[in-house]
Amino acid sequence: MAHPDIDVRRVYADRSGHDGEYRVLVDRLWPRGVSKESLRIDLWAVDVAPSTELRRWYGHDPARFEEFARRYRAELRGKAASTALATVRAAARSHRVLVLLTATKDVERSGATVLARHLARSGRT
């Protein structure tokens, strides 16, 4: 399958997933209170997560989201992120749904949502 659907979900709301999904944790830090055994993921893509510096600058301030998204997209064009994105894309091609998991409370204004849009726009998932 060349282009899976892309879903963004909160880790705490969806720990086990469904058949046919390729599940990627896209946070730099492991989610608090979640054991590695209790979360079904196929990949922890640390290198596609926003940098620590960018994450700290953003601080989930809604007023900073547009600038955060711009800076994060720039990071995604870097070497480490590009390599990790290629891995995610290649693995996702054989699944119906690519699920990007995040611990962030505000999923709509999160790095995972920016990443999902980036992947969808690039058309290479």
Report phi then psi at 9, rounded to 5. Answer: -135, 155
Closest CA to 104 of 69, 55, 64: 55
The bridge status of strand 21-25 relative to strand 97-102 is parallel
Phi/psi zone of residue 119: left (φ > 0), alpha (ψ -120 to 50 degrees), beta? alpha
Q: Is residue 62 within 8 Å of 109, Cβ to Cβ?
A: yes
Q: Is the dihedral of CA 5, 105, 114, 11 positive or negative?
A: negative
Return the pLDDT at 123.
63
Return the pLDDT at 125.
47
Residue 125, SS3 per DSSP: coil
In which domain, by residue range, is 15 found? Answer: 5-122
Per-residue pLDDT of the chain (125 residues; tens, 9 = 90+): 456 799 999 999 987 777 889 999 999 999 999 999 999 999 999 999 999 999 999 999 999 999 999 999 999 999 989 999 998 888 878 888 999 999 999 999 999 999 999 998 876 44
Q: How many domains does the chain have?
A: 1
Return the pLDDT at 104.
94
Closest CA to 102 of 14, 22, 18, 16: 14
* Token pair for 109: 């204004």
Return the pLDDT at 2.
54
Helix (H) or strand (E) holding 111, with range, is helix 111-122
Sequence-ordered alpha helix ranges (H) in 47-106: 52-58, 65-76, 79-92
Q: For 63-89, what is each residue's pLDDT tens digit?
A: 999 999 999 999 999 998 999 999 888
